[in-house]
A and B are shown apart, each in its own frame.
Chain A
Amino acid sequence: MSDNKSNNKQVNGHSGRTEPVVLSCIDGSRYTSAVCDYASWIANVTGAPLKLLHNIERNNVPAVADLTGSIGLGSQEELLEELTSLEQQRARLMVQQGKLMLQAARERAEMAGVPSVETCQRHDSLSESVIELEDAIRVLVLGIRGEEHGDSEAGLGTQLETVVRALHKPILVVNRDFEAPRNVMLAFDGSEAARKALAMVRSSPLFREVSCHLVFVGEADKAESLLAGASTQLEEAGIDVTANHLTGKTVDALIDYQREHAIDLTVMGAFSHNRLRDLLMGSLTAKMLLNTRQPLLLLR
């Protein structure tokens, strides 16, 4: 039985490989190439294989709308047939389109020098298939907004928050064209998620060559000990650290700092508070995602 299961998964492109992959979510949005580039960069630096995922999401908009309100002889069967054939056509086009996108992304990644690129298509929502793949993921790379947002500069992808909340793996949210990061900002508040982020920066090969701005927003008395502890840890790992204590509103302070110091990538813990508090106060992570102009690497 278990054999069958893994067979199915392999057929579907969900292989049971042991080495975790850099999973890059491809759709037709404007960030597709950037997502592909960032994923290639991570795959190249870490040596992990790259997997490109395209989801064919069921369109909620029905294919027929007959407002006559009449149901004739055998209308239920007829309707089922009509809906099936229309949706079949629509799905075929989407599969075809997805294949082309994946092909283009694969070529782009191979050009960038990634040795092992795998592609995969799923009939599922992005969040569900990503969650299903969780164990095989090393880093997830996805665009901040999906296809349906078009060229819009504002807003977040409809599934972004679901994915970030559900997945316990590093997630890189891409919101601009690729630039190899030279300096990163680690937003540190001493929370568990922030400690994970710290540990990741310490251990990951991605941050060997970059300079790290360690920042804390909040009261001065807390700042000193937190920053000192964290920067020692980073220095021990051989990372070039600048520690800074910022004041003011958290998101504004972080964004201003990003701009002033031309930060290329921000690393932070995500959604460390509970949902109720997020609902009432607004979540810091969501605000950061909405306002930042630089890619965010989130850890939970």
Chain B
Amino acid sequence: MLSSTKADWLGNIRRDVLAGLVVAMALIPEAIAFSIIAGVDPRVGLYAAFSIAVVSAFVGGRPGMISAATGAMALVMVTLVKEHGLQYLLAATLLTGVLQIIAGYLKLGSLMSFVSRAVVTGFVNALAILIFMAQLPELVGMGWQVYAMTAAGLGIIYLFPYVPVVGKFLPSPLVCILVLTAVSVALGLEIHTVGDMGQLPDTLPVFLWPDVPLNLETLKIIFPYSAALAVVGLLESLMTATIVDDLTDTGSDKNRECKGQGVSNIVAGLLGGMAGCAMIGQSVINVKSGGRGRLSTLVAGAGLLTLVVFLSDWVGVIPMAALVAVMIMVSIGTFNWDSVRNLKRHPLSTNVVMLATVIVVVWTHNLAYGVLVGVLLAALFFANKVGHFMYVASELDEEQSCRTYKVVGQVFFNSADKFIAAFDFKEVVDKVVIDLERAHFWDVSAVYGLDKVVVKFRREGAEVELVGLNEASETIVDRFGVHDKPEEIERVLGGH
């Protein structure tokens, strides 16, 4: 699992280091903000960001992708922290890691093929909305100074890159944080700072075993959260991996990524950090800054911790408004704006899947539920569409009093009723021939439907002959498992 090619590490050293530093700086506000969403000390998020980034640099399946403490995961753990405290969160983080490693060995990464593009888009948009919504408590009702600071912060983030020379080399989120901190300290503003949110790390993380009783009771508490965290983490990581794959036009090992996330989370849990996963916004920042290799992820994690530990006195006075501005930038950058434009162009079913995913996620604050709904809807729509590809033609030979039905297309649970309805049982004929050569019977419902048709004709007194039956019924995938035999697929689909 540790084997990585030299190119993954050393293929792009200078740019990987620079990009990693940019990402490290952008990670600080996020790790703090996500800790606050989860209801724990900023320390927990920062240690998590450090350990997840560093470990996944070595064991992850997607070089150049940034993993750390994330909003999606923070949202899942809120209730656990509220009801049971930090130690249970750490225990849940360990279990999450174990579940993800199991998922990796079960090759569940390949299940991503069931998650359609519309679901991915919905997931990403919902994530952006949730990140934005999570900023509101620090914004609404905090007074005009906070509004002004946030607005100024956004101004700096979006406009600073246009400043000649320095604009291209200094990360604008960092400039935003520095300027707003300076202003707030200089003016002595009475607004929330990072220091108000909890303790900041002043030491490197140390190994510690979560202080929870090791019994069934604990497992009962943490398992549902760990399972949800594992699913959300893997979904976000694998989707982000797909996005980075697209951007860099390279491949990644999805199952290794599952295991890598698991190992990272276990290490995070043992170092006092919360569970995390890949971050879409940060990974885009990394790729945009020129990061491609594992080194960029490593530098991001290590840089983050160095900055925080050695500058912890300074980090404490950063106004929350500055972090809110950075997070709003991340949510805007994460949102897939094309998808809004695409609502007009894409088919209705795609839009429904995308919007349903967004709505369910935003409603439940659980990305896993949204994805589940999205995948189910997509499957239903697909079944419905494929069901249309079935028709029955017939012709009558009056001399012989024989009607021949030719069935063409996909017969399965969704089209079985349509299949039965296509036969005219009222017609009086001596013989019925059902030609199934170009029909495909996919499941038991289809076979049952065929049986029903044959029995009904017999009861009406007709003699029934099935043509091409054997070949057609052989296509019941469950029984013969043709998916791993290419030559079988050729034979099955050859009729089309």
| Choice from B11, B160, B285, B487 contacting A71 with Cβ under 8 Å | B285
Asked whether any CB of chain B lies closer than 8 Å to the CB of A64, the reply is yes
Give CA–CA (A8, B156) in the complex, Å.
53
Set of chain A residues within 8 Å of B289, measured between Cβ atoms: 65-67, 69
With A74-B337, A77-B338 known as contacts, the answer to whether A68 contacts B284 (CB < 8 A) is no
Chain A 113-133 interface 0/1 with B at a Cβ cutoff of 8 Å (1 = within): 000000000000000000000
Q: Are B330 and A71 in contact (CB under 8 A)?
A: yes
Nearest residue (CB) in A for B173 is: A69
Asked whether any CB of chain B lies closer than 8 Å to the CB of A79, the reply is yes
| Choice from B12, B26, B280 contacting A69 with Cβ under 8 Å | B26
Set of chain A residues within 8 Å of B171, measured between Cβ atoms: 67-70
Within the complex, the shortest CB–CB distance from A70 to chain B, in Å, comes to: 5
Q: Are B161 and A70 in contact (CB under 8 A)?
A: yes
| Choice from A1, A62, A72, A75 contacting B490 with Cβ under 8 Å | A1
Set of chain B residues within 8 Å of A73, measured between Cβ atoms: 332-333, 337
With A71-B329, A72-B158 known as contacts, the answer to whether A62 contacts B290 (CB < 8 A) is yes
Nearest residue (CB) in A for B334 is: A71
Chain B 160-185 interface 0/1 with A at a Cβ cutoff of 8 Å (1 = within): 11000001111111100000000000
Asked whether any CB of chain A lies closer than 8 Å to the CB of B293, the reply is yes
Q: Are B172 and A68 in contact (CB under 8 A)?
A: yes
With A62-B15, A71-B330 known as contacts, the answer to whether A1 contacts B487 (CB < 8 A) is yes
Q: Are A65 and B19 in contact (CB under 8 A)?
A: yes
Asked whether any CB of chain A lies closer than 8 Å to the CB of B403, the reply is no
Within the complex, the shortest CB–CB distance from A157 to chain B, in Å, comes to: 13
Asked whether any CB of chain A lies closer than 8 Å to the CB of B84, the reply is no
Within the complex, the shortest CB–CB distance from A192 to chain B, in Å, comes to: 27
Chain A 81-109 interface 0/1 with B at a Cβ cutoff of 8 Å (1 = within): 00110010000000000000000000000
Within the complex, the shortest CB–CB distance from A65 to chain B, in Å, comes to: 3
With A1-B487, A60-B7, A61-B15 known as contacts, the answer to whether A71 contacts B288 (CB < 8 A) is yes
Chain B 387-428 interface 0/1 with A at a Cβ cutoff of 8 Å (1 = within): 000000000000000000000000000000000000000000
Interface residues of B in 466-491 (CB under 8 A from A): 486-487, 490
Nearest residue (CB) in B for A69 is: B171
Within the complex, the shortest CB–CB distance from A170 to chain B, in Å, comes to: 26
Set of chain B residues within 8 Å of A68, measured between Cβ atoms: 160-161, 167-168, 170-172
Chain B 333-345 interface 0/1 with A at a Cβ cutoff of 8 Å (1 = within): 1101110000000
Set of chain A residues within 8 Å of B160, measured between Cβ atoms: 68, 70
Asked whether any CB of chain A lies closer than 8 Å to the CB of B157, the reply is yes
Within the complex, the shortest CB–CB distance from B487 to chain A, in Å, comes to: 7
Set of chain A residues within 8 Å of B158, measured between Cβ atoms: 70, 72
Give CA–CA (A172, B155) in the complex, Å.
62
Q: Are A69 and B172 in contact (CB under 8 A)?
A: yes
Within the complex, the shortest CB–CB distance from B261 to chain A, in Å, comes to: 21
Asked whether any CB of chain A lies closer than 8 Å to the CB of B243, the reply is yes
Asked whether any CB of chain B lies closer than 8 Å to the CB of A80, the reply is yes
With A60-B7, A75-B333 known as contacts, the answer to whether A66 contacts B288 (CB < 8 A) is yes
A contact residues, range: 20 to 34
Q: Are B26 and A62 in contact (CB under 8 A)?
A: no
Interface residues of A in 1-44 (CB under 8 A from B): 1
Set of chain A residues within 8 Å of B173, measured between Cβ atoms: 69-70
Asked whether any CB of chain A lies closer than 8 Å to the CB of B44, the reply is no
Q: Are A79 and B284 in contact (CB under 8 A)?
A: yes
Asked whether any CB of chain A lies closer than 8 Å to the CB of B65, the reply is no
Asked whether any CB of chain A lies closer than 8 Å to the CB of B287, the reply is yes
Asked whether any CB of chain B lies closer than 8 Å to the CB of A204, the reply is no
Interface residues of B in 238-272 (CB under 8 A from A): 243, 246-250
Asked whether any CB of chain A lies closer than 8 Å to the CB of B378, the reply is no
Q: Are A67 and B292 in contact (CB under 8 A)?
A: no
From A60, A61, A73, A83, residue with most partner B Cβ within 10 Å: A60
Give CA–CA (A79, B332) in the complex, Å.
15
Within the complex, the shortest CB–CB distance from A300 to chain B, in Å, comes to: 22
Nearest residue (CB) in B for A80 is: B247
Interface residues of B in 13-38 (CB under 8 A from A): 15, 18-19, 22-23, 25-26
Q: Are A62 and B287 in contact (CB under 8 A)?
A: yes
Nearest residue (CB) in A for B247 is: A80
With A74-B338, A80-B247 known as contacts, the answer to whether A61 contacts B12 (CB < 8 A) is yes
Asked whether any CB of chain A lies closer than 8 Å to the CB of B281, the reply is yes
Q: Are B284 and A67 in contact (CB under 8 A)?
A: no
Asked whether any CB of chain B lies closer than 8 Å to the CB of A76, the reply is yes
Q: Are A62 and B292 in contact (CB under 8 A)?
A: yes
Set of chain A residues within 8 Å of B172, measured between Cβ atoms: 68-70
Q: Are B290 and A64 in contact (CB under 8 A)?
A: yes
Set of chain A residues within 8 Å of B249, measured between Cβ atoms: 58, 83-84, 87
Within the complex, the shortest CB–CB distance from B273 to chain A, in Å, comes to: 23
Within the complex, the shortest CB–CB distance from B155 to chain A, in Å, comes to: 12
Nearest residue (CB) in A for B25 is: A69
Give CA–CA (A2, B18) in the complex, Å.
47
Q: Are A60 and B487 in contact (CB under 8 A)?
A: no
Give CA–CA (A70, B486) in the complex, Å.
47
Give CA–CA (A69, B329) in the complex, Å.
10
From B6, B287, B288, residue with most partner A Cβ within 10 Å: B288
From A1, A58, A67, residue with most partner B Cβ within 10 Å: A67
Set of chain A residues within 8 Å of B11, measured between Cβ atoms: 60-61
Give CA–CA (A269, B91) in the complex, Å.
55
From B26, B160, B173, B337, residue with most partner A Cβ within 10 Å: B337
With A67-B168, A69-B25 known as contacts, the answer to whether A79 contacts B486 (CB < 8 A) is no
Give CA–CA (A66, B171) in the complex, Å.
9
| Choice from B15, B22, B174, B284 contacting A75 with Cβ under 8 Å | B284
Set of chain A residues within 8 Å of B168, measured between Cβ atoms: 66-68
Please name 10 further chain A to chain B contacts, defined as beta carbons within 8 Å, in addition to the given A65-B289, A84-B249, sorted by A numbering: A60-B292, A61-B11, A62-B292, A67-B19, A67-B22, A67-B171, A68-B168, A71-B281, A71-B333, A75-B333
- A-B CB contact pairs (8 Å), 26 listed: A58-B249, A61-B15, A61-B292, A62-B15, A64-B290, A65-B15, A67-B22, A67-B171, A69-B22, A69-B23, A69-B25, A69-B172, A69-B173, A70-B160, A70-B329, A71-B285, A71-B288, A71-B332, A71-B334, A72-B329, A73-B333, A74-B336, A76-B243, A76-B247, A76-B333, A77-B337
Measured CB to CB, the residues of A under 8 A from B are 1, 58, 60-62, 64-77, 79-80, 83-84, 87, 158
Measured CB to CB, the residues of B under 8 A from A are 6-7, 11-12, 15, 18-19, 22-23, 25-26, 157-158, 160-161, 167-174, 243, 246-250, 280-281, 284-285, 287-293, 329-330, 332-334, 336-338, 486-487, 490
Closest A-B pairs by Cβ, 6 of them = A71-B333, A65-B290, A69-B171, A60-B11, A68-B161, A74-B337
